[in-house]
Amino acid sequence: MVLTPKLGIQFGTIAKVEAEIFGGSSLHRMGYESDYFLKIKSVNGKIFNKNLVFKFNDETGTLANEDFALYELLYKKKTGSIEPVQLRRMQEKYVGKKLTLIIYETGSFLGTPRDNFKYGPPKQDFGFCFVHSLEVVSNLTADRKNSKK
């Protein structure tokens, strides 16, 4: 298997992207309902016409990649539960937000190899695969807002 980056640049290469926050519930896949993704619109000024949606890790403290992180980002405190009405209000403020970010593409292997059950008890998991993700190192959108204050 040859791993090919999805952004059209080498893994680990710093790039400027225009992106949008994408709600995992829109994927209609179990396990992603409470996650947020980045939908990439352009990379280093090159516009993408295909849908590129990535999981992400935020090093800036200005983005959230799941519901409880969003709660903490918006309300500056942790919680053990979120009511559905409150969750909808939070998502209305966050999903669809347009961003200018500095990122790099990375990824990791996840899941269980096909013949794993031969050597131990079966696990409820998904097949072994590589999952692309983005590391956000700077949020230029947030930086612009902070410089206006």
The predicted structure's pLDDT at residue 48: 85
pLDDT tens per residue across all 149 residues of the chain: 789 999 999 999 999 999 999 998 777 666 677 899 999 999 999 998 888 999 999 999 999 999 999 999 999 999 999 999 999 999 999 999 999 999 999 999 988 888 877 888 877 677 888 999 999 999 999 766 666 65
Dihedral sign from CA coordinates of 12, 13, 14, 17: negative
The predicted structure's pLDDT at residue 31: 67
Domain spans of the chain? Answer: 15-148
The predicted structure's pLDDT at residue 117: 79
Q: Which backbone phi and psi does 4 adopt, to 5 degrees?
A: -120, 125
Q: pTM for the complete prediction?
A: 0.86
The predicted structure's pLDDT at residue 113: 83
Q: Which backbone phi and psi does 126 adopt, to 5 degrees?
A: -110, 165
Beta carbons within 10 angstroms of residue 45's beta carbon: 9
Q: How far apart are CA 43 and CA 47, in angstroms?
A: 7
